[in-house]
Structure 1
Amino acid sequence: MRKYRQEIEKYIDEHRDEMVADIIKLCSINSTRGEYVEGAPFGEGPKRALTMALSIAQKYGFDITNYDNYVGAIDLNNKEKGLDILAHLDVVPEGEGWSVTAPFEPKEIDGKIYGRGTSDDKGPAVAALFALRAVKDLNIPVKKNTRLVLGTDEECGSSCIKHYYTKEKEAPMTFSPDGEFPVVNIEKGQLQGEFSAALEDAGEKRLVSIEAGTKVNVVPPKAKAVIEGFGIEEVEAKAKEVTKETGIQFKYDLVPVFEITALGANAHASTPENGNNAITGLLELLCRLDFSPSKKIETIKKLYSLMPHGDTKGEAMGIAVEDEKSGALTLAFSMLTLKNNIMHGFFDSRIPVSGDGDKILKTVREKFADIDVEFLNDSVLAPHEVDENSTFVKTLLSIYEDYTGLKGECIAMGGGTYVHNIENGVAFGAVFPGTDTKMHGADEFVVIDELIASAKIFAQSIVELCN
């Protein structure tokens, strides 16, 4: 039996209801990134979530620090740095298709909490806070400090944590409860491609506009196009073919313009195979329609040939690569607009450790140049890897095994977390093997018993790593 395990387990179990209540309070706040206003760098929602989280921590007797409403910090004690736990309070947009509850009206149902942010990442953030609270209230002796760092812009580039590290140094060890158990020691590299082109138009049967996607790191569940010169029968006939082949559904509004809406299923861009991309489904339909010849239609068809529906590995782009350590490269066509004959779009690619980022970037640039579309990126984020044989990682794996009875091993993921640029940083929980929390999708949830187990694991980790 690990030292203090019984006390930790008893404490966390006794405070289950408080943990659930705090998660529900935090998840009731829409903390999607908004417009900058003075004192709220990412909008009022993220600021409100941070203010509430820090007030909860103060209520439990912790010292807090607010770094300009970018980041908040909660300290176990005032000793030297030992461990940082990095979590975030911002969320992706609510999206479509919620059925159990409204996105920001979280509910506890059958042992789960449903709502946007329950899994990513407010639930795990609260679990980490209760881990700190257990160590503090039980007076378990530790030689170093653990600091819980709460950011507010993880979903849109992590500028919050970059701001934090202009003011603070990294701790010797860092983990983020924003991934999966057991330990994520590898995060793939990333290319978030942006492109643009001015497209000439002509003829009576025209593509007027496209509006699709909300975030570069989300597979879009909806995509819209406005067309002219077509009858509904012609479009429906082609759409039925596409639906049969792809599963993408279509609906139509004929007044005041002919608008087509493609309906798919969203997913995190790091796992595009788990969704059904509405952009590529829409483009498949548009490429089958008999438009009048134009540079616009020609370019749309060439663009679609680089990222066709169902190609989530970059094979058509010529950048597919795979390895045993970190799996296959992934590619998600995530955003596209066409307005006033200006096309602008984004895709998200996650690159395994064996991938040559510079070579991939060069290939992509050449492919877009070939179709006369300007590619706007000049850098790739390199993969991140921490030694699986380090004492830090081995300790986390050992605690996970003891508390769960499951095998502890290192895994790789395509999703990026706060630790991607931190030398000795890994993702540690809070999603358990075999659980799909519908992160970034409709009806996102967290399993309460798994979050309780996470809090116990985090508390034990604090005790052992800081001694």
Structure 2
Amino acid sequence: MNFYELVLSKKEEILERTKQLLRIPSVLEKFDPNSETPFGKNINDALTYMINLAQEDEFITKNINNYAAHIEYGSGKEILGILCHLDVVPVGDGWTNPPFSPVIKEGKLYARGSGDDKGPTMAAYFALKLLKEMDFKSDKRIRIILGTDEETAWRGIDEYFKTEQMPDIGFAPDASFPLIYGEKGIYSFDVTGKTTDTDLVTFKAGDRYNVVPDYAECTLRVDLKEEFRKYLSFNGLKGEIKDGKYIVHGKRAHAMQPNLGINAAFILAQFLNEHIDNDFIKYINEFLSFDHLGEKLNVDHFDDEMKDFTMNPAVFEYIKQEFKIGINCRYPKGWDKESAKINLDASVRKYKFKFKILDDMPIHYVSKDDELVQTLHQAYIKYTGDNESELITIGGGTYSRSLKKAVAFGPNMPGRKDTAHQIDEYIFVEDLLKATAIYMEAIYQLCKK
């Protein structure tokens, strides 16, 4: 059966529903566990939208206290989990079109969340909806699990699994095709301390550990306006002085590929290092600036299968001579964690600073020879004809690692630019529709009686 032809016949409905979901600005503003909407109104609106849509289509649904929900079809002892999320990262500045006013141009659907992860969520939903309309007989319960906090602390999915059965197998439509069977470990830590310098009043950059900051600002007690303008002009950099703030613009990128971004904090710290004597600024320049591999800290590592260790200094907060630098790392197999801690400790001790480990999510890995991997890969090959692109590992962390046996599966096609977390995020309409057909095939093959 050619599921792609069926998907194409539903193209307009798929796109309209996707746009409706994309219009909801589901960015986390504040987490409040005592609220009926713990992740805020907008994220809850996105969750409610999906639940209402599923109920209209006569699916079984369950809402876990507005932390997460699932949409269910089929019967059986085993569960196939399709792990999606409805929250998105902050939009940043410089969008060509408003980020929550989805528009299709030149075959691309532009909006925050189009590729990560609302577009893929809708592709998975329609895959299940179309199978249901065909009266597909499944030997498993199929659950689309809707998370609400994937881009920050995974509190939604953690709450979900406190009460709900763990799926036996699953996939997360939240990365790339043909398939991602391994995800690097994610290691986050803060560097904190105090300085005695009085020239620097404030320094701020970044708002999420998993995003390269594209904006940095500082205020000073010394007048460096002329020097700053010359620095920007000589280096061809974007920035300005506004309301007493020295401002630099960089380029956002996902923390798993910090080399694709331009860290605005590094640019500002480099300038300040030439003009003021501040240990916070010195530390940034000596150990962090323009080094996504961690070589300055001597924590770098390369694995043939999972590739490079990467590091993203993401959040910078300095006020009243006290500071925090929030750093997010992605580590492959073989990374010597204990040696890295020793080297990190040596770097902070030099300036009498401290570091604190915030989180350590271990490496997630499913063998390429596993039946789940092979079945999903064949579904991809059927609708792309691509049997040459290799199965891959990534530095990203998807919900697949919340299951014992799950992988990340689409939607980004090989050779396509990955615009997740970036300005003017988009997904090709063709890829969204083809992903829907691939997900239909995958569910069918994994769950047919």
Fold shared, TM-score > 0.5 on shorter chain: yes
In the alignment, which of 132, 135, 150 is matched to residue 136 of structure 1? 132
- Specify the SS of the correspondent of 2:311: strand
Measured against aligned partners, the alpha-carbon deviations of 1:84-143 in whole angstroms (never above 9, x if no partner) come to 0000000000111101x1011111223221111111000000000001011111122221
Of stretches 384-393 and 414-423 in structure 1, the one that deviates more from structure 2 is 414-423
Which residue does 2:88 correspond to in 1? 91
Q: Give the unaligned 5+ runs of structure 1.
A: none
Return the TM-score normalized by structure 1.
Answer: 0.92
What SS does the corresponding residue of 2:239 show, helix, strand or coil?
strand
Distance 2:224 2:132 in 1: 69
More moved, 178-187 vs 132-141: 132-141
Aligned to 1:371: 351
| Residue in structure 2 matched with residue 284 of structure 1 by the alignment | 270
Deviations 1:423-451 (Å, cap 9, x if unpaired)? 10100001111112411111111111111
Q: Over the residues paired in the alignment, what is the CA RMSD in angstroms?
A: 1.5
Q: 2:203 aligned to 207, 210, 223, which one?
A: 210
Alpha-carbon distance in 1 for matches of 2:36, 2:222: 50
CA distance in 1, matches of 2:323, 2:358: 19
Distance in 2 separating the partners of 1:129 and 1:332: 33
Q: 1:265 aligns with which of 231, 241, 251?
A: 251
What letter matches 1:134 in structure 2? L
- Tell me the secondary structure at the aligned position of residue 219 of structure 1: coil
Report what 2:70 is aligned to.
73
8 Å CA contact 2:73–2:142 kept in 1: the answer is yes
* Corresponding position: 1:434 with 2:415: yes
| One-letter amino acid matched to 2:46 | A
- Relative distance call for 1:342 and 1:10 in structure 2 (3 A) is same
Equivalent residues of 1:88, 1:153 under 8 A apart = yes
Pick from 401, 412, 420: which aligns with 2:393? 412
- Cα gap change, 1:94/1:77 in structure 2, threshold over 3 Å: closer, same or farther? same
2:187 to 187, 191, 204: 191
Q: Distance in 2 between matches of 1:130 and 1:73?
A: 15
Out of 330, 351, 358, which is 2:338 matched to?
358
1:250 corresponds to: 239
SS class of match (1:165): helix
Listed one character per residue, the Cα deviations across residues 267-296 of structure 1 (whole Å, up to 9, x for unaligned) are 00110111111011111111112x2x5xxx
How much has 1:190 moved relative to structure 2? 1.3
Aligned length: 445
- Preserved contact between residue 357 and residue 382 of structure 1 (Cα < 8 Å): no
* Matching of residue 336 in structure 1 with residue 336 in structure 2: no
Distance (Å, rounded) in 2 between the aligned partners of 1:191 and 1:429 = 24
Q: Measure, in 2, the Cα distance between the counterparts of 1:369 and 1:19.
A: 55
Amino acid at match of 1:287: N
Question: Which residue number corresponds to residue 102 of structure 1?
Answer: 98
**Aligned-partner Cα distance in 2 for 1:111–1:138:** 29
Pick the aligned partner of 2:360 from 367, 380, 384: 380
Secondary structure in structure 1 of the residue aligned to 2:26? coil
Gaps spanning 5+ residues in structure 2: where?
none
Identity, % of aligned positions: 29
Distance, in Å, in 1 between the alignment partners of 2:269 and 2:138 is: 58
Residues in 1 aligned to 2:166 and 2:40: alpha-carbon distance in whole angstroms: 27
SS at structure 1 position matched to 2:437: helix
Task: Say yes or no: does 1:178 pair with 2:159.
Answer: no
Q: Which residue of 2 aligns with 1:224?
A: 217
Q: Which amino acid aligns with 1:61?
A: E
Contact 1:369-1:375 at 8 Å conserved across structures: no
Asked if 1:306 corresponds to 2:306, the answer is no
Q: CA deviation at 1:308?
A: 1.6
Alignment counterpart, residue 45 of structure 1, candidates 39, 42, 61 = 42
Measure the CA separation in 2 of the matches of 1:465 and 1:332: 37
> What amino acid is aligned across from residue 27 of structure 1 in structure 2?
L
* Kept in 1: contact 2:280–2:323 (CA 8 A): no
